[in-house]
Amino acid sequence: MKASYLAFFIAALSLDAIAQTGNSFLTHYAPSDERIDYRSMGMLQDSRGLIYFTNKKGVLEFDGRNWRLIPTPGAVYTLSIKENVVYVGGVFGFGKLSEKGSERMYEPLINNKIIFSSVVANGKVYGCSETSIVSISAEKVEKEIKVEAGNSIRGLFEIYDRALVKSSLHNILEVKTDTLVKADIALPVGSEVLFSNQNSKSREVILGDESGKVYLIKEKSSPIEIILQDAAYVRQNSLSNGVWVNEKMIALGTLLGGVLLIDVSTGATVDHLDFTTGLPDNEVFALMTDQSEGVWVAHEYGFTRIAPSLPFRSFNHFPGLTGNLLCIRSVQGEVYVGTTLGLFKLTKEDNKPASLQTIRSNQQERRDLFSFSSKRKNEKPAINAMPTFETKIIKPIGYSYKKVNGIEGKVVQMIELNGKLIIAGLGGVFEINRDKAKSIIGQPVKTIFFSPSLQQLMVGTYNNQIKTFLDKPTAWSETHLLDTLSDHISYAFEDNLQNIWLCGRSEVYRVETVDGKISDAASFPVNNPSLDEMVGVAYGNEVYLAASGEFKKFDHKNSFVRYDSLPGPHRYFASAGYFWFNDGAQWRTVDSRLGTLKLQWLGLFPNLRFLAPDENAQSLWVITADNELYKFTNSQLLSDDVHYPLLLREVKGQKIKIGEDKGVTMDQSENELSFEFIQPDYISSYAMQYRYQVKGLTNGWTAWSNTNHVANFPYLPPGSYQLAMQSRDVLGNESKIELIPFEILPPYWKRWWFYALEFSFFSLLMILSVKVSVANSKYQFVSQILSLLTVIIFIQFIQTGINSLLSFKSSPVIDFIIQVFIALVVFPLEAYFTKFMRGAAEGKYQIWLKKNSPLNN
């Protein structure tokens, strides 16, 4: 009993430490095709960044945006990669994925065997069935090694380039010189090995066994157990797999408790991801770390990528927070969140014992999800081979949100005054002091603003009133400074000249102050046809507004004029005294106080609801349109900035030909041609932007856009071109320009060989006409017909040649005029040729022709 409480206490302490900094950033992926089963027991990534998943119907390939199913003859159990060639094992045997152009297909190497596990070691690929191991070298089957009678294979794993075999006799074998020998490597004795994973940089190996223990193995050293602070939690929730995240952190997957991120040097839990913190399911099928140190989790509902190194930490998965998130504020170390249902405070729970859940579980049945049973058909299981036991799932209590009493309905705005929190919403305006709400005004409020010049609180109500309040020692007192102003005020701010600006629907009001008193007021009309809620900002001595999708600047006279130095904002809002806008590429603010933050990261979220700095302006609270709450900080950035190459994924068109140099050839008559590129990106593929240029057709690049990864050409004139494509990630890093040559072939009647054929036919007719005329005068009529036909063909030949050189897009009238002009140009040549043919037909050149006839030579 004491041991259980101690285990719970350790787990609770570790998870409390996590909650203070939030949880890792999660991205969820699932194929949109309902015919594709989500369940996957294996994943890997190639050098180009593409990720492959095992599947019942084949191999799933993913590039961050597009899913592609590569069919196989049956369900896939295992994947391995060697020299960027993906090897596939399943119920159908073993094979590899081959690539032809932009197409991927399965190529069998071994048939009629169930290959359920594979590794790459010693320069070879090994795959195993229950009774044998096959080795593949140079993409060909090299040898098959059978196990001894009475033993069977339970799986393969690799340590320091050595292929090791788990057997049903609970001993570890090694594939050595094409035979199976007892492994001489020092491994923990007792429980069956579940997984091993080697760090590519430090070359250290982690190994997990069925008892829930995890070991660290250094080359030529004995395994050292990593003493986990949450060892009881890992053991009782059935450890299933583990991978390195980076040189200091590992990820452990469980069957019942999600994923734990562990500090290798201390064994402390850095983060815990399960259903309560955003992971769709607690049952982990497989784990994989990509080249950007993101951990991929395969579960019942698809795949989730955990990004512990991304500078965002999630704060909305703690229990107790309800409603759509609208605003957040940090005051003296306390975090308050306003939602559509009220005000909530993030509080730390007492470390008291949690309720323990009892589950009847069959451990061996769960293990069978990840390994094949090695029992022979005539082998009887032992009595205690599959024990049924009680699993107590520890549910440590960390942080949660508590609703602040007395505040109901939407909370839309929060400000801090002298260490006190002032909140506003549909319930009115309240002062929060020690979690107690004190009402200032009890009617629905649109906006609040505290004027530094007047030292008064200004409140814009839903009934178009502007109320002012002064904070006195005993209570807030209404001062009635702006009672005569009636308008729907949505935002207020103050400039550097102590002028207060109030934004209405179609007018902006300027309230001038001197020595803490109002000296003058004026209104200025603003063109706001869409009746957007205007927001504004004072920057230096200038005042700017955003309304109806454009920026306006005060001209220091009587009006606001359009400001063209900045592009019209796609989206904009004001929150916590800061003005934010999206220019189509990234979120920006003109406030210099946030200049140290890498705001380009906000491009991960195309739609934001709220942004506000924390108390020291070193981090930023972010509320997205998907109702997610993050804390963004520069202190946690990607340690290894990996850029995947730009790939040509697909070329679409009828009867296209793709050469070995990726050059594309297509007939003009086949019309539409399109190229689809992708740069694998798993942080946010939709924040990736593309541009392209067609050399030989255009002189400039297209605009940067996340849809320009597809270059579509409904029509192209014949000719040779080069398509140049480039990508740019969320931080503005531009890729290398990829060049794809392609050629549009003209119709066959416009090609050189057809012109040569026409010329040969024309020459033949001319010679035949002359020969007939010379041969006998009675064939003069036939000669004249051939001469006329030759002249007509000659004229058509000339016109076709000119039309192929000169291309016009015009009306039929213009085409007729052009044809007449061409006829006039060729008329002298036509007349001379007609005269020559007629003379030849009449026998005028018979003496010359007979003299120069080849028959006389």
What is the pLDDT averaged over residues 465-474? 91
What pLDDT does residue 9 have? Answer: 37
For 87-101, 298-312, 714-728, which range has the lowest pLDDT when averaged over its residues? 714-728
Dist. CA 259–CA 298, nearest whole Å = 11
- Between CA 720 and CA 718 the distance in angstroms is 7
Give 678's pLDDT tier (boundaries 50, 70, 90).
Answer: very high
- Rounded CA gap, 532 and 546, in Å? 9
pLDDT at 711 over 70: yes
Distance separating alpha carbons of residues 245 and 307, to the nearest angstrom: 10
Question: Is residue 195 a contact partner of residue 181, using CB atoms and an 8 Å limit?
Answer: no
Q: Which of 18, 633, 596, 619 is nearest to 310 (CA)?
A: 633
Give the C-alpha separation, 35 to 436, whole Å: 54
| Mean pLDDT taken over the chain | 81
Please give the residue that has the higher pLDDT: either 673 or 252. Answer: 252
Query: pLDDT tens, 453-466?
Result: 999 999 999 999 99
Mean pLDDT is lowest, of 137-141, 477-481, 509-513, for: 137-141
Q: What pLDDT, on a 0 to 100 scale, did the predictor assign at position 808?
A: 53
**HEC readout, 103-163:** EEEEEEEEECCCCCEEEEECCEEEEECCCEEEEEECCEEEEEEECCCCCCEEEEEEECCEE
Percentage of the chain modeled with pLDDT above 90: 44
Among 338-342, 343-347, 808-812, where is mean pLDDT lowest?
A: 808-812
pLDDT band at 404 (very low <50, low <70, confident <90, very high): very high
More confident residue, 502 or 800: 502
For residues 601 and 707, give the distance between their C-alpha atoms in angstroms, rounded to a whole number: 20
Q: Of residues 418 and 96, which shows the higher confidence score?
A: 96
pLDDT in tens, 220-278: 788 899 999 999 999 999 999 999 999 999 999 999 999 999 999 999 999 999 998 99
Q: How many CA atoms lie within 13 A of 460 on its CB side?
A: 22
Q: Is the pLDDT of residue 768 over 80?
A: no
Confidence at 468, pLDDT banded by 50, 70, 90? very high
Walk across the sheet containing 436-441 and list its strands.
411-417, 420-425, 428-433, 436-441
**17-26, 111-120, 255-264, 323-332: segment of lowest average pLDDT:** 17-26
Q: Which of 405-414, 554-563, 740-749, 800-809 has the lowest mean pLDDT?
A: 800-809
pLDDT-based confidence at 784, cuts 50/70/90?
Answer: low
Instruction: Check residues 69 and 763 and name the one with the higher pLDDT.
Output: 69
Amino acid identity of residue 490, one-letter, is S
Distances (CA, A) of 297 to 52, 644, 790: 13, 21, 77
Q: Does position 19 have pLDDT exceeding 80, yes or no?
A: no
Report yes or no: 579 and 591 within 8 Å, Cβ to Cβ: yes
pLDDT of residue 245: 95
Model's pTM, two decimal places?
0.81
Q: Give the confidence band of 654 by pLDDT, cuts at 50, 70, 90.
A: low
Instruction: Tell me: pLDDT of 847 over 80.
Output: no
